[in-house]
């Protein structure tokens, strides 16, 4: 009698089977994601237009490659998991489709964009299953930096920057007059304009800090604490930048070109210092358990295909419903 290979958990044959099933699932995912991109291209194009026209959101072009790298860095956590298509993921996609349709009819662009960005984690949930999307929650969370949002924070950031400038002038013994976000120092009058709030440095800085935290720490609390620390440090750095520009002009050692160089220098030094500080609390990654599914837990590609068709079909119906109700596709 010929012996039967049972593919015990942890065996090379089981690992190869799981790897092949993940590859098949990934192809289904990429095909479904391409369909979503085509269906909702106008909303995606609205984000791309902002990335290309605003330095504040130019980092959006790099978000998807970074997400890909973060997911790849978590590969050891998901290679031991069998993809298990989820009905809850389909439901999440349908809810996001409803949100998108309502935002489209109400002409709320940022909510349309947020719904389209949420389609990607929803699609991962639908095709790969609950456990895999849970393991990849932090890498997929980086997708939030695709959204060109945050300008509503500019007045608040302006006030923080002005407060930091005034405290610096007080410590320096330089007299000034402050009125309505205008600072008079000697003959010069400086406006703490929206661009001076530092949003265009804060958002890219936080995106770098987020990626660093995901790659460096395991505990969510430690990641969130590092992000909060970086947000505060970046706002302080922006205040120092603005203070340095005013004082440099006041003492006659800075021009317009020097302002830009000084700004790049401040932020070029701030981020490496934050990373150096963050490495002091680096956590070693969890060792891979090496526990693989039983051979009986076979992946059903037809189920993944069916779930993706239902999910993408629901999104397409939402698109058609908006066209039917508003006359605009």
Residue 295 shares a structural domain with residue 231: no
Q: Say if 7 falls within a structural domain.
A: no
Between CA 37 and CA 77 the distance in angstroms is 28
Residue 159 shares a structural domain with residue 269: yes
Q: How many CA atoms lie within 13 A of 47 on its CB side?
A: 25
Can you tell me the mean pLDDT for 231-255? Answer: 86
Residue 145 shares a structural domain with residue 176: no
Q: Say if 6 falls within a structural domain.
A: no
For the segment 169-228, what is each residue's pLDDT rounded down to a tens digit? 999 999 999 998 899 998 888 989 888 888 988 999 999 999 999 999 999 999 999 999
Residue 268 shares a structural domain with residue 295: no
Between CA 153 and CA 137 the distance in angstroms is 26
The pTM of this model reads 0.85
Q: How many domains does the chain have?
A: 2
Query: If DSSP codes are grouped into helix, strand and coil, which group holds residue 4?
Result: coil
Q: Say if 4 falls within a structural domain.
A: no
For the ranges 25-39, 66-80, 147-161, 300-314, the lowest mean pLDDT is seen at 300-314
- The 3-state secondary structure of 229-297 reads HHHHHHHHHHHHHHHHHHHHHHCCCCCHHHHHHHHHHHHHHHHHHHHHHHHCCCCCCCCCCCCCCCCCC
Q: Say if 47 falls within a structural domain.
A: yes
For tokens 């317009």, name the residue: 256
Confidence check: pLDDT of 328 > 90:
no
Q: Say if 1 falls within a structural domain.
A: no
Residue 158 shares a structural domain with residue 237: yes
Residue 141 shares a structural domain with residue 184: no
Between CA 141 and CA 201 the distance in angstroms is 20
DSSP 44-87: HHHHHHHHHH-GGGGGGGGHHHHHHHHHHHTHHHHTTS-----H
Which of 79-83, 293-297, 318-322 is most confident? Answer: 79-83
Q: Say if 2 falls within a structural domain.
A: no
Residue 172 shares a structural domain with residue 274: yes
Single out the residue in 245, 260, 279 at which a domain terminates: 279
Q: Where in the sequence is the domain holding 18, given as residue range(s)?
A: 12-149+286-326
Residue 16 shares a structural domain with residue 139: yes
Residues in the chain: 329
Residue 38 shares a structural domain with residue 157: no
Residue 17 shares a structural domain with residue 144: yes
* Residue 129 near residue 83 (C-beta atoms within 8 A): yes
């Amino acid at each position: 009698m010929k012996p039967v290979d049972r593919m015990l958990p942890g065996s090379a044959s089981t690992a190869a089977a799981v790897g092949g099933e993940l590859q098949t699932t990934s192809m289904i995912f990429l095909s479904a994601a391409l369909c979503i991109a085509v269906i909702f291209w106008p909303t995606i194009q609205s984000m791309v237009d902002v990335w290309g026209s605003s330095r504040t959101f130019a980092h959006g072009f790099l978000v998807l490659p970074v997400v890909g790298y973060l997911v790849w860095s978590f590969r050891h956590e998901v290679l031991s998991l069998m993809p298990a298509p989820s009905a809850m993921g389909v439901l999440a996609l349908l809810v996001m489709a409803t949100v998108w349709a309502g935002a489209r009819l109400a002409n709320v662009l940022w909510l349309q964009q947020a719904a389209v960005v949420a389609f990607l984690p929803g699609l991962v949930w639908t095709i790969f299953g609950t456990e895999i999307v849970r393991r990849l929650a932090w890498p997929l969370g980086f997708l939030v930096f695709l959204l060109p949002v945050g300008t509503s924070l500019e007045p608040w950031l302006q006030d923080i920057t002005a407060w930091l400038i005034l405290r610096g002038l007080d410590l320096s013994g330089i007299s000034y007059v402050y009125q309505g976000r205008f600072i008079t120092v000697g003959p010069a009058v400086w406006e703490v304009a929206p661009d001076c709030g530092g949003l265009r440095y804060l958002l890219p800085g936080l995106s770098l800090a987020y990626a660093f935290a995901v790659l460096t720490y395991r505990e969510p609390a430690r990641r969130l604490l590092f992000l909060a620390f970086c947000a505060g440090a970046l706002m302080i750095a922006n205040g120092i930048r603005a203070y340095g520009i005013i004082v440099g002009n006041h003492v006659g050692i800075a021009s317009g070109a020097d302002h830009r160089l000084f700004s790049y220098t401040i932020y070029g030094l701030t981020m490496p210092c934050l990373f150096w500080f963050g490495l002091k609390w680096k956590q070693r990654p969890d060792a891979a358990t090496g526990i693989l599914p039983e051979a009986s837990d076979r992946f059903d590609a037809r189920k993944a295909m069916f779930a993706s068709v239902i999910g993408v079909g629901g999104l397409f119906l939402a698109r058609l419903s908006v066209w039917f109700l508003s006359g605009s596709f």
